[in-house]
Amino acid sequence: MTGPLASLKIVEFSGLGPAPLAGQLLADLGAEVITVDRRAAPANPTDINRRGKKSVVLDLKSDTGLAAAQRLIAASEVLIEGFRPGVMERLGLGPNACPERLIYARMTGWGQDGPLAQTAGHDINYLALTGALHAMGNADRAPVPPLNLVADYGGGTMFLLLGILSAVIERGVSGKGQVVDAAMVDGVPAMMGLIHAMLAQGKWSEARGTNWLDGGAPFYRCYTCACGGYVSVGALEPQFHALLLENAGLPAEHQASQNETAHWPERHALYAKAFAQRRRDEWSETFAGSDACVAPVLTFSEAQFHPHMAERGTFITSGGVMQAAPAPRFSRSAAGAPNPPSAVGAETDAVLEGLGYSAAERRAITG
C-alpha cells in the first residue's frame, strides 16, 4: 500500500452512511481497512465506499465467528462502527472487551447518550435539531435538505476522521487508545462558528433567505439562464462585487450600497432579468478567468469534464464507474489509485490465515 496512512490497520464493522465513507477515505490514503460483513456477495463496482478495502464474512452469533472477530480486533489499531448505542456491547465486542491500545470510533447521529440516542434518524433530522436546516432554502417555502452532505458526511464522517486521527496522535503520547464518540448533532454545530458569530453580532437574521450566505444577498445566490441552466454568483468582497457588476452589465452605482439589505429584493429581480438574457455557457465564457466569483452550475455528469476538474484529475473512472479521486493530495506520500471494490467476503480466507488460523480452523469458521 502507498499513502500517508499505510501503517494504519483498521477494522470496520459494515454498515451504511458516514462510517463506510470514513473507512473508504482512510483506505484511499493507504490504511489497511478490513470490513467485517454478515454474508458474502458478488463484487459491485458501484459500491464506491468499499473501494480499497478487504472484506471478511463472519457469523458474529457463533462462538467461532465471534472469536475470529476478537482476534481481528486485537490485530488492529482502530475499530469503526456505526450501529445504535449498545449493539456492539450485546455482541460482546464493546470497548471494554477490546485491547487498551485500540481506538474505538463510534459513528451515530444522536451520540452515545441523551434522550434520542436509541431512536432512528437521518441527515435531515440532525440538521433540523441543530438549527442548520431552518436556514436552508427560499424564504417563502419549507427548508430544503442539502442532499445528505452536511450532517451525514460533514458533521459525521469528517468529525469521525478528525476524532480517529486525533486519537492516533494522542496514543503516540499516552500509549493508550480511547473511545471516539462522533455524533452528527455535535459535528454540525461545530461547523457553524461563523454563523454563530454573526448571530451574536446581530449580523444574521433567523428569517430564511435574508442573509449574506443563504441566498438573501443578490450577489450570493444562483440565477436561471436563457437555456434553463444556472450560474452561481458568490461576489462577497467589494472588489469581486465590482467585477460582477462590470461583467454582467449591472449598474456600477450598486457598488456603494452592496450590503444595504433594503436594496436586495429589487436587485434580485434586476440581476435575475440580466442573467436570463444569455445561456449558461455564454456567461461562463464571459466570466472565465475573472475574480467575480461566478461559475456555472454543473450536473454530476458534466462536472468531470470541466477543464479545471479534468486537468487536476479530480474525478476518476474505476470499473466503468465515475467517482472522486483520493483527497487530499500529498507531496511525498502520495496515495495510489484505489482498488475497485472486491466481492464481499473475498478476503475471508486470507485474513483468517493472516490471523494465524490453520486451514482446518478456517473451514470451520467459514463453513
Catalytic (active-site) positions? 122, 152
Number of CB atoms found within 10 A of residue 54's CB: 21
Helix, strand, coil percentages (3-state) for the chain, rounded to 5, are 40, 15, 45
Distances 53 to 25, 27, 39, 214, 284 between C-alpha atoms, Å: 10, 6, 16, 39, 40
What is the distance between the alpha carbons of residues 116 and 76, in angstroms, rounded to a whole number? 31
Alpha helix (H) ranges present in 16-144? 18-28, 63-74, 87-91, 123-130
Contact between residue 319 and residue 342 where contact means Cβ atoms under 8 Å apart: no
C-alpha cell at 57: 464474512
Contact between residue 19 and residue 107 where contact means Cβ atoms under 8 Å apart: yes
Name residue 108's beta-bridge partners.
183
The type of residue at 272 is: A
CA quadruple 93, 96, 97, 98: dihedral sign: positive
Radius of gyration of the chain (CA): 25
What is the distance between the alpha carbons of residues 151 and 195, in angstroms, rounded to a whole number? 16
Q: Which residue's entry shows cell 449574506?
A: 212
* Distance of alpha carbon 4 from the chain centroid: 20
The type of residue at 333 is: S
Distant-in-sequence, close-in-space partners of 162: CB < 8 Å, separation ≥ 6: none
Longest dimension (CA), the chain: 83
Give the relative orientation of helices 280-287 and 238-248 as an angle to the nearest 10 degrees: 130
Distant-in-sequence, close-in-space partners of 151: CB < 8 Å, separation ≥ 6: 109, 123, 124, 126, 127, 130, 132, 184, 185, 187, 188
